[in-house]
Amino acid sequence: MTKNKIKKVLVIRFSSIGDIVLTTPVVRCLKKQLGAEVHYLTKNSFQKVISTNPHLDKIFTIEKNVSEVLTQLKAEKYDGIIDLHKNLRSKQVRWALRVPYFTFDKINWQKWLMVNFKINKLPNVHIVDRYMAAVKPFGIKYDGEGLEPLKPPTPKGEYRFPSGKFSEIISEEELERKLQNFPDGKRYSPLGVGGFICFAIGGAHATKRLPISKIIEICKGVELPIILVGGPDDATVGEKVVLEVKKESLINMCGKTSLEESALIIENAKKVITHDTGMMHIAAAFQKPIISIWGNTIPEFGMHPFYKKGVNNNVSIEVQGLSCRPCSKIGYHQCPKGHFKCMQDIDIEKVIELANA
């Protein structure tokens, strides 16, 4: 299929936050290099991740089943489908639309060998490069510009962060309300002295997250103010950390901010401490210095922070030499072995040293 025959394409990625952020170079390169109309299909719950992407012309969402949008998709008469999920749902879309489709190598058997037998046949290729391979038949090449940052939606007012940047997604009054646990008279000034550290304490699976005792230890050792970010499920952990650490410069924003507001905090942070989770990829999209902490998963799966060409601001912290690691390509509710050494033995002093550097 030649470039001049591609007028309209559909990109498919249903979930989740990080995986969708990692597809954004494909979207950008399709738009800029093809000049095609680019549509995106995802789940309702993840629409915000790409709702303001400047390179998308239309977004379709589903709650559970692709049947919810098949009639609409058929009416679009696409010239091609870029399937960056490659599961049953995306195959159902391909079967229904009956147009040329292009997909990527999920390296499932290499991951299976690594997880089950610790035989490393994993290619030294980031998933973004594997995604980009899907559009190679169009003559599309990666532009070296990294991931597309999560930008704010409609204006609500202005707030100047210590870095001097402006936000259009949260008013000063709203942010002040959200920071109500920060002592009066010190709401902004501590954050203005050398910036702050953002600590993304969440993670979809327990084996990707540090134990709360380790999070507390890090927060006690980091010298700069810290803002904790995470979803509603992380709110209780954040509250416990604040109570235990007892620092005026530690703010728990878990469960208090939208995805866009969390991205704003990440964008304005001096550094980001994060697990292997979607916030890590949002931080990489902003080119932030990252201290990434790895538990049951490994960077070799090709999901480590992805920066612009020539940039690498990430330091991965992991426990090497464990015979049980990686135990999964995704994660578990609890350690299958019971000891959780992949996180219990993390070099916390190294994390603190990097944060304070």
> What CATH code is carried by the domain that includes residue 254?
3.40.50.2000
Q: Are the CB atoms for 260 and 169 separated by under 8 Å?
A: yes
Q: Is residue 150 a part of any domain in this protein?
A: no
Joined together, the tokens standing for residue 100 give 């040329």
Q: Please tell me the distance from the alpha carbon of residue 107 to that of residue 231, in angstroms, as a whole number.
A: 30
What amino acid occupies position 274? Answer: T
Q: In this structure, are 113 and 183 located in the same domain?
A: no
In this predicted structure, what is the pLDDT of residue 225?
A: 86
Long-range contacts of 96-105 (CB under 8 A, 24+ apart): 96/66, 96/70, 97/10, 97/73, 100/1, 102/134, 102/135, 102/137, 102/138, 103/134, 104/130, 104/131, 104/133, 104/134, 105/130, 105/133
In this predicted structure, what is the pLDDT of residue 22?
A: 98
In this predicted structure, what is the pLDDT of residue 295?
A: 98
* Domain interval for residue 192: 159-356
Per-residue pLDDT of the chain (357 residues), as tens digits, is: 556 678 999 999 999 999 999 999 999 999 999 999 999 999 999 999 999 899 999 999 999 999 999 999 999 999 999 999 999 999 999 999 999 999 999 999 999 999 999 999 999 999 999 999 999 999 999 999 999 998 765 444 444 444 433 344 445 555 555 554 443 333 333 344 457 899 999 999 999 999 999 999 999 999 988 999 999 999 999 999 999 999 878 888 898 888 888 888 888 889 999 999 999 999 999 999 999 999 999 999 999 999 999 999 999 999 999 999 999 999 999 999 999 999 999 999 999 999 999
Please tell me the total count of domains within the chain: 2
Q: Is residue 153 a part of any domain in this protein?
A: no
Q: In this structure, are 221 and 342 located in the same domain?
A: yes
Q: Is residue 269 a part of any domain in this protein?
A: yes
In this predicted structure, what is the pLDDT of residue 239?
A: 95
In this predicted structure, what is the pLDDT of residue 157?
A: 40
In this predicted structure, what is the pLDDT of residue 174?
A: 57
In this predicted structure, what is the pLDDT of residue 179?
A: 52
pTM of the model: 0.90
Q: In this structure, are 15 and 111 located in the same domain?
A: yes
In this predicted structure, what is the pLDDT of residue 196?
A: 86
Q: Is residue 148 a part of any domain in this protein?
A: no
Q: Is residue 144 a part of any domain in this protein?
A: no
Helix (H, G, I), strand (E, B) or coil at 122: coil
In this predicted structure, what is the pLDDT of residue 167?
A: 42
Q: In this structure, are 224 and 119 located in the same domain?
A: no
Q: Is residue 128 a part of any domain in this protein?
A: yes
Q: In this structure, are 203 and 297 located in the same domain?
A: yes
* Helix count and strand count (H, E) for the chain: 13, 13
Q: Are the CB atoms for 36 and 6 separated by under 8 Å?
A: yes
Q: Is residue 42 a part of any domain in this protein?
A: yes
Measuring CA to CA, how many Å separate 76 from each of 66, 84, 263, 278?
15, 19, 32, 31
Q: In this structure, are 176 and 302 located in the same domain?
A: yes
* 164 Cβ neighbours under 8 A, 6+ residues apart: none
Q: In this structure, are 125 and 272 located in the same domain?
A: no
